[in-house]
Amino acid sequence: ASAAEPYDVVVVGGGPGGYVAAIKAAQLGLKLLHRPRHAPVLAHKLTPPPQTACIEKRGALGGTCLNVGCIPSKAMLNNSHLYHQAKHDFKSRGIIAENVTVDLGAMLKAKNGSVTALTKGIEGLFKKNKVDYIKGHGAFAEPGAISVQLNDGGETRIEGKNIIIATGSEVTPFPGIEIDEKQIVSSTGALELQQVPKKMTVIGGGVIGLEMASVWSRLGAEVTVVEFLGAIGGAGIDAEVAKKFQSILQKQGIKFKLNTKVIGAEKKGETVALNVEAAKGGKEEQLESDVVLVAIGRRPVTRGLNLEAVGIEVDNRGRVVVDDQYNTSCKGVKCIGDATFGPMLAHKAEEEGIAAVEIIKSGHGHVNYGCIPAVVYTHPEVAWVGKNEQELKDEGVKYRLGNFPFLANSRAKTNADSEGFVKFIVEEETDKILGIHIIGPNAGEMIASGVLAMEYSASAEDVARTCHAHPTLSEAFKEAALAASTGGKAIHF
Ligand code: FAD
Ligand code: NAD
């Protein structure tokens, strides 16, 4: 596209929200829709110019998720779990692997390899779908126009009939505790530690805190998690699951200080002293460790976008304000993903990317916010979809529960991996599924069935009457549904 002919869609940010939106926009070939019916046949045979551009400053596509989030953290979680199993679990399974040790350098290299393969893969998808990939920092010049400071130097101006802001999020800093990514780290530094710390303190018992605590604890660090609230797991977790989760992680060696407030940190040479006190005030304590991880949440990235110049409104938490079609307060500009409302999850950003582009194309696009799964990739995994018990109590909804422990599931028993349970919450009167909460092996894969069931407004009986293969962990899912629909009568428990 030239200055005279703007792109149909310009996406700012190449994370899961932005790159998916760009690919979908190109696939929908928005420009082709407007080609006059009487256009000569030959015109259809010519390759149309790219009508979608994606501006990304990082130097790699995939955003937080692929570069410093979902993917590298899962590489470290998977490999640290294998090491932990080899060291502590193999013998009881009849496997002798003596002198199992960690080569941290090689483990980090394997993680980096996964990241590069996947980010390059997105570049390939851009080429395949004819998305223009513009490497640089974008900022609004005026409504409908973005000026880009190119990574290779110089500046260019890109015009778009539709602009989608997908600039994502960044670590929320802790006032007074400066992140140096060596001794005091964010999740980014925690994925790059060059040696296993002897002691590590994690501020925040949410998703990042627990996943990173698991990685370094498995590799040999003594980890303490300091959490302001009275429970771990972050927003949306069911209280019964959170309690079980904490007791399992404690058995694995992770220590918790709940209801505890961090006051400040002092560097003392090789170590960092963290000053904490009871959340409601009280005795102060000092926790000394080699590494402190700050994991108290993330905040939207909007700085440097020059939003003020085009009148785009941001709320008091820094989120770009949008309506139910992702429109910002500037005509022709939408916003999706971590930069706006809702849970900060890659799959939520992707769904919004698709919906926003479909709305541009046809006026219709939809995300079912009641059916967005959440997964914590510890071992065992924790996963849920829909409402938890407390939320339903607060709403005054009458519900029934169906609970099935993995201890009563033949496959989990056989695998000697049977901690946790599946819990269905169903509407008392109708049996409709309102929420599913799982802590157990493979919970993150299993929850997909729950999302599908809820997407189709299934009842617990619908799931209970669906044949599940034997012997699989999924039978626990079916049995929990059966327990919910029959008032507790599972077959194997
Ligand atoms: P981002 O992925 O943040 O992408 C935004 C992109 O925009 C960035 O690449 C940035 O460089 C670019 N950008 C910003 N401003 C500009 C500009 N002005 N010009 C050009 N480019 C710009 N979510 C999950 O669902 N599952 C997980 O397992 C998971 N694990 C995580 C682990 C960690 C350690 C972290 C930190 C996050 C994790 N998340 C996970 C959250 C997930 O990464 C985010 O929800 C997701 O990346 C949001 O996607 P997004 O496209 O909105 O933004
Ligand atoms: P989070 O919101 O999940 O957890 C932050 C935790 O820190 C909360 O439990 C909060 O109570 C606690 N906290 C806040 N201030 C505190 C203080 N001063 N002292 C002690 N504790 C404090 O945030 P996160 O773990 O940083 O993760 C950020 C985002 O990234 C989340 O939105 C999450 O959805 C996403 N993420 C997702 C995954 C996944 O899907 N598996 C993995 C990692 C990150």
3-state secondary structure the chain: CCCCCCEEEEEECCCHHHHHHHHHHHHHCHHHHCCCCCCCHHHHHCCCCCCEEEEECCCCCCHHHHHHCHHHHHHHHHHHHHHHHHHHCCHHHCCCCCCCCCCHHHHHHHHHHHHHHHHHHHHHHHHHHCEEEEEEEEEEEECCEEEEEECCCCEEEEEEEEEEECCCEEECCECCECCCCCCEECHHHHCCCCCCCCEEEEECCCHHHHHHHHHHHHCCCEEEEECCCCCCCCCCCCHHHHHHHHHHHHHCCCEEECCEEEEEEEEECCEEEEEEEECCCCCEEEEEECEEEECCCEEECCCCCCHHHHCCCECCCCCECCCCCCECCCCCEEECHHHCCCCCCHHHHHHHHHHHHHHHHHCCCCCCHHHCCEEECCCCEEEEEECCHHHHHHHCCCEEEEEEEHHHCHHHHHCCCCCCEEEEEEECCCCEEEEEEEEECCHHHHHHHHHHHHHCCCEHHHHHCCCCCCCCCHHHHHHHHHHHHCCCCCCCC
Q: For residue 207, how far is the Cα from the chain centroid?
A: 9
Please report which ligand is nearest the Cα atom of 53. Answer: 1
Residue nearest to ligand 2 atom 14, measured at CA? 296
Say if ligand 1 is within 6 A of residue 206 CB. no
pLDDT of residue 38: 52
Say if ligand 1 is within 6 A of residue 10 CB. no
- State which of 126, 167, 340 you would mutate to test the pocket of ligand 1, scoring each by most atoms of that ligand within 8 A of its C-beta: 167
Closest atom, ligand 2, to C-alpha of 187: 26
Say if ligand 1 is within 6 A of residue 189 CB. no
44 as an active site residue: the answer is no
Backbone phi, psi, residue 488, to 5°: 105, 0
Say if ligand 1 is within 6 A of residue 346 CB. yes
pLDDT of residue 47: 57
Q: What angle do CA 214, 244, 490 make, to 5 degrees?
A: 125
Output the ligand 2 site: residues, CB below 6 A. 203-209, 211, 226-229, 234, 262, 295-298, 343-345, 375-377
Q: How far is the CA of 378 from the centre of ligand 2 (A)?
A: 14
Residue nearest to ligand 1 atom 9, measured at CA? 63
Residues of the chain with pLDDT under 70: 1-4, 30-50
pLDDT of residue 48: 60
- State which of 20, 55, 65, 132 you would mutate to test the pocket of ligand 1, scoring each by most atoms of that ligand within 8 A of its C-beta: 65
Dig out the tokens for 15 from the structure.
Answer: 């994370």
Say if ligand 1 is within 6 A of residue 349 CB. yes
Q: How far is the CA of 60 from the centre of ligand 1 (A)?
A: 12
Question: Are the C-beta atoms of 446 and 380 separated by less than 8 Å?
Answer: no
- State which of 20, 70, 126, 314 you would mutate to test the pocket of ligand 1, scoring each by most atoms of that ligand within 8 A of its C-beta: 70
Say if ligand 1 is within 6 A of residue 55 CB. yes
Say if ligand 1 is within 6 A of residue 14 CB. yes
**Whether ipTM exceeds 0.90:** yes
Q: Exactly one of 137, 437, 470, 492 is catalytic; name it.
A: 470
Closest atom, ligand 1, to C-alpha of 19: 51
| Radius of gyration for the alpha carbons in the chain, expressed in angstroms and rounded | 25
Say if ligand 1 is within 6 A of residue 301 CB. yes
Q: How far is the CA of 466 from the centre of ligand 1 (A)?
A: 37
Residue nearest to ligand 2 atom 35, measured at CA? 344
pLDDT of residue 282: 81
Between strands 433-440 and 421-427, the pairing is antiparallel
Residue nearest to ligand 2 atom 38, measured at CA? 207
Residues 6+ apart with CB under 8 A from 113: none
Residue nearest to ligand 2 atom 32, measured at CA? 344
Closest atom, ligand 1, to C-alpha of 13: 7
The whole-model pTM stands at 0.96
Residues 6+ apart with CB under 8 A from 465: none
Q: What angle do CA 190, 417, 255 make, to 5 degrees?
A: 40
Residue nearest to ligand 1 atom 3, measured at CA? 168
Dig out the tokens for 9 from the structure.
Answer: 């869609």
Closest atom, ligand 1, to C-alpha of 212: 34
Residue nearest to ligand 1 atom 23, measured at CA? 345
pLDDT of residue 36: 45
Cα(360)–Cα(34) distance, rounded to whole angstroms? 13
Please report which ligand is nearest the Cα atom of 202. Answer: 2
